Structure 1
Amino acid sequence: MKLLASLALKDLLRERMQLLCNVAVLAGVLVPLLVLLGVKNGVYDALIGRLLSDPAALQIDTSGNQSFRAEDAEEVRGWPEAGFVTLKTRSLFDFVNVREVGGRGKRDAILVPSGTGDPTLDGRTLGPGEAILSAGLAEQLSLAAGAEIQVITQASDRPRQLALPLTVVAVLPPERLAGRAVLTDIAVLDLVEAFYDAYALPEYGIAQGRDMAERVADFEGMRVFARDLTLLAPLQTRIEQRFNIRTEARTAEVAGVLNLGRNLDLALVLTASVASIGLAAALVFGFWSEVARKRRVLATLALMGLPAASLWVFPVIQALACGLIGLAVSFGLFLGAARVAEALFAGGMPEGQRLVTLSLVEVGIICAGVLVFVTATALFAARAAARADPASVLREGAA
């Protein structure tokens, strides 16, 4: 077997023109497909990356004045499609003033209910009595992590304003949250709403008002995040059907990107299938003609004592060698084409994103697939080599 493999490789190197033709056929099919796959990956990854970098793409907000209880939020949290879930108070009471403890400057901002697990926080933790600020608000008040702030609100019918102390644990980058906002626990927003509803908050210096023990917590809406982009639409539909409400989400945009990915995959599969048919035909006839031309050589090897059934190794070894060389040439040309494409369209991609990308897993699958493909096509020729009668072949040559 080792001798036959050596003879097959030496014969392949001697027949350089046939080797070049097979390699050219492989490269002519593989390089365009590799470029198409790489561009598809680059463009799709850029679109998906843009959505994933914006946590609002996963967010679902209820619309209108609804009535939710803590039990409703717990129910939604138990759904497999749902990630982070928090209740929302009435939007009328979201606007507050923020200042640093001991500071003079203050800015108006929006209170946003949040907590550990909120995708907006990008993995940061947020506990009771803590706050995370948007970059815009932190910059205007010169605040950083560790600062002590007060969230201040006042009502015309209350004798005193409400000032809630919070500790800043982080400042979000601008791309995570725009504007002036304070992300904090829903309990803080609930206290603000209770203040506006004329309840007494003696621990914060508000002695006058109704007894908090009589208050029944009721919330205007929910802020829900899907676990991933593919679950956004099902989760939005489930929320609307369960609570008979309208919601707001970027479902259409997300669905458009996901559909684009599926359509690109389908187009690539169809293109690869058609190309594979042509490649298979070219390789089958190429290997078959090679075996036909070497019938006397193979017959001589059989008469020298090599089992006829082992002759199938001859075209298969040559096919694998062609496949390996073809892969090396194809990936070399692909890298060159990718650099040209990157140079031509570099300005059209987000920073840090490449136009043409292939993962190591994809490279491995492509290499394995090509080698299996050329081996399978060579087996058609190998069957003819193995079934040939050496004596009959030599007699035909002598005649």
Structure 2
Amino acid sequence: MLITWLALKDLWRERFYLFCNCALLVGILVPLLVLFGVKNGVYSALIGEMMENPAYLQIDTAGNVTLSEDDLAPLRGWTEIAFMTPKVRTQFDYMNVRQNSGRRIRQAVIVPSGTGDPTLPPGARLDNSNVAVSALLARQLELTPGASVQLISQAEGRPRQLVLDMRVGLVLEDRALGGRAVLVPFETLDLIEAFYDAYALPDYGIESGKDIAGRVPAYSGARIYARDLEALPGLQTRIEVQLGVTTHARTADVTSLLRLGRNLTLALSLTAAIATLGLAAALTLSFWSEVARKRRVLASLAMLGLTRRQLALFPVVQALVAAALGLVLSFLLYGIAGRMAQHWFGQGLPGGRNLSVISMGQAVMISLAVLCIVALAAAVAAWRAQRSDPALVLREVS
């Protein structure tokens, strides 16, 4: 289009003004980009650290309560729950553990688990012959994946010990499972509780005792994991109301972090809004003054046959070119500033994450927003260009 070519040629001839407009954009955008990137990076690092530690998503019932399957059944359909398993009475969830080929024995807590347990690596599965052990227990008993172990328990009044032969399927990291602990399917813990309750277990060589067929399972609580951090506070309250129990969770830590994220977003939004108003005002005045300064050029173009609509495109094209160059320079300088900030201040972030992060989608949205602001500011100058009478302008100048 002719008007576009003329606008670009005029912009190159007076590139000092192009530089001034680019500098105006860069001076406002780069600090905002750095603030936005640091907010993203720091908050994402903290959220990521919490999400990688399943303990922050865990809700445990507390106190002396007795629950049935009917009590827990409604919870199984709640979308806020990522994983749930009942718990046996706490006096029955400790057993002695030893490696088949070793002499050392350690007492460990037996934790109910199952498919989908966030404590386990994604896709990991446990069955009645496979267990996951904590890193501390593995070090003390020199356990590795594939090793054979025995879970041993002795109940008062029972003529024989309960010995469960297992294989180590997984050794979990310290952060996933602390202390001396063994993760087993809930059915295994239920079997241990039946042993303590004096039921006969013929499959394990325990013939004496009550008939297991008449046993009605009763649970001392539940081990529950929320779907995400945002769901944790509401889920904890809902569980307490539904079951009528007290629960333990790291809700205070999670709530504090979520509040911090909202406050940072609010502060950044307020700063961005004020900066946007300042940018829009500065650009509007700049483009208006440039149209006023070029009124003779625009009048001459009108006398050559260009329509008012074409004349209105003249400042808009120049403004969008200045905006595009300003955006490119702003993101380049942001990248340099981000690397410097990472080198100086980013070493302490968990997981080695970046201090300043802006995703591609966010960069596109920022660019579109800036182009819209520039286009609106240029529209005011375009309106000024349309209202000029070419004859009067040329007569005034001459």
TM-score normalized by structure 2?
0.97
Q: Distance in 2 between matches of 1:214 and 1:133?
A: 32
Aligned length: 397
Matched, 1:206 2:206: yes
What's 1:35 paired with? Answer: 34
Partner amino acid, structure 1, of 2:139? E
Partner amino acid, structure 1, of 2:244? N
The answer as to whether partners of 2:49 and 2:351 remain within 8 angstroms in 1 is: no
* Alpha-carbon displacement from aligned partner over 1:76-130 (angstroms, at most 9, x marks no partner): 1111211101000011111111123344332211100000101111211223332
Corresponding residue SS for 2:108: strand
Matched, 1:324 2:316: no
Partner amino acid, structure 1, of 2:240? E
What's 1:83 paired with? Answer: 82
Q: Which runs of 5+ in 2 are unaligned?
A: none
Matched, 1:145 2:145: yes
What's 1:108 paired with? Answer: 107
> Mean Cα displacement is larger for which, 135-144 or 367-376?
135-144
What's 1:5 paired with? Answer: 4
The answer as to whether partners of 2:34 and 2:334 remain within 8 angstroms in 1 is: yes
Matched, 1:120 2:119: yes
Q: Distance in 1 between matches of 2:128 and 2:262?
A: 43
* Alpha-carbon displacement from aligned partner over 1:187-228 (angstroms, at most 9, x marks no partner): 111111111111111211112222212221111010011111
Q: Distance in 2 between matches of 1:84 and 1:347?
A: 34
Partner amino acid, structure 1, of 2:236? Q
Q: Which runs of 5+ in 1 are unaligned?
A: none
* Alpha-carbon displacement from aligned partner over 1:259-307 (angstroms, at most 9, x marks no partner): 1111111111100000011111100000000000111101111111111
Q: Distance in 1 between matches of 2:266 and 2:274?
A: 12
Corresponding residue SS for 2:357: coil
Partner amino acid, structure 2, of 1:275? A
Partner amino acid, structure 1, of 2:21? N
* C-alpha displacement of 1:27: 0.8
Q: Distance in 2 between matches of 1:165 and 1:70?
A: 28
The answer as to whether partners of 2:46 and 2:350 remain within 8 angstroms in 1 is: no
Runs of 4+ in 1 over 6 A off after TM superposition: none
* C-alpha displacement of 1:70: 2.1
What's 2:253 paired with? Answer: 253
What's 1:222 paired with? Answer: 222
What's 1:357 paired with? Answer: 357
Q: Distance in 2 between matches of 1:25 and 1:19?
A: 10
Q: Distance in 2 between matches of 1:80 and 1:308?
A: 60
Matched, 1:19 2:18: yes
Matched, 1:97 2:93: no
Corresponding residue SS for 1:116: coil
Percent identity among equivalent residues?
A: 54
What's 1:64 paired with? Answer: 63
Corresponding residue SS for 1:121: coil
What's 1:179 paired with? Answer: 179
Q: Distance in 2 between matches of 1:75 and 1:164?
A: 32
What's 2:283 paired with? Answer: 283
Q: Distance in 2 between matches of 1:122 and 1:29?
A: 45
Corresponding residue SS for 1:139: helix
Q: Distance in 2 between matches of 1:135 and 1:61?
A: 22
Q: Distance in 2 between matches of 1:168 and 1:384?
A: 79
The answer as to whether partners of 1:73 and 1:86 remain within 8 angstroms in 2 is: no
Q: Distance in 2 between matches of 1:262 and 1:251?
A: 16
Q: Distance in 2 between matches of 1:339 and 1:80?
A: 41
Q: Distance in 2 between matches of 1:351 and 1:122?
A: 17
The answer as to whether partners of 1:73 and 1:85 remain within 8 angstroms in 2 is: no
Corresponding residue SS for 2:3: helix
What's 1:370 paired with? Answer: 370
What's 2:306 paired with? Answer: 306
TM-score normalized by structure 1?
0.96
Partner amino acid, structure 2, of 1:172? L
